[in-house]
């Protein structure tokens, strides 16, 4: 029912709709993107696609039939065989294992198609669902961090170790 797709220019309208519809939901658990993100979305979308083409990032969207976007799973700051994982799932699709499944797919892409050897991820301490997704996908705690003004945790995963 759900499909992971690499981000393309054609995703722009649906991605903006996804981000707009879920803005308040996301702001409760992660830092808000700010008005500038939405005002200059076309330019920002073009810029991140150029960075993806240069191999700096790997952006993905989670879609369901009728091309509605219900999530994003990204690998950013690719360097030295490593990248940082980030993801967000729409409120309407949360709590059903979708994030866990899509993160697993991106981890497989990272190890295979993208040739990465390790990933990092961060989450705030009050976002237990995100921490659970990471643990289910073989990430382990690396240590405490601060995200903005909120306490959090950094996680790591060696992609050379399989998860069962």
Residues 6+ apart with CB under 8 A from 100: 132, 133, 136, 137
Phi-psi region of 152 (alpha: psi -120 to 50; beta: other; left: phi over 0): beta
The structure's pTM equals 0.91
The CA distance from 63 to 121, in Å, is 22
Q: What is Dmax (Cα atoms) for the chain? A: 43
61, 82 contact by CB (below 8 A) = no
Domain definitions of the chain by residue range:
3-158
Give me the pLDDT at residue 130, please: 95
Give me the pLDDT at residue 164, please: 52
3-158 under CATH 3.20.20.30, yes or no: no
Q: Give per-residue pLDDT as tens, 32-66.
A: 788 899 999 999 999 999 999 999 999 999 998 77
């Amino acid at each position: 029912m759900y499909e992971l797709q690499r981000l393309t220019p054609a995703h722009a309208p649906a991605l903006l709709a996804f981000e707009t519809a879920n803005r308040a939901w996301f702001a409760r658990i992660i830092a808000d993107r700010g008005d500038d993100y939405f005002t200059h979305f076309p330019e920002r979308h073009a810029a991140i696609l150029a960075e993806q083409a240069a191999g700096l990032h790997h952006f993905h969207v989670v879609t369901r039939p009728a091309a509605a976007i219900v999530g994003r799973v990204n690998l950013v700051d690719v360097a030295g065989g490593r990248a940082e994982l980030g993801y967000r799932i729409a409120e309407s699709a949360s709590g059903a294992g979708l994030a866990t499944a899509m993160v697993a797919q991106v981890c497989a892409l990272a190890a295979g198609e993208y040739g990465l050897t390790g990933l990092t991820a961060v989450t705030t301490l009050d976002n237990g669902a995100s921490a659970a997704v990471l643990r289910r996908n073989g990430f382990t705690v690396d240590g405490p961090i601060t995200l903005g003004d909120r306490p959090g945790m950094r996680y790591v995963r060696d992609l050379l170790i399989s998860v069962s």
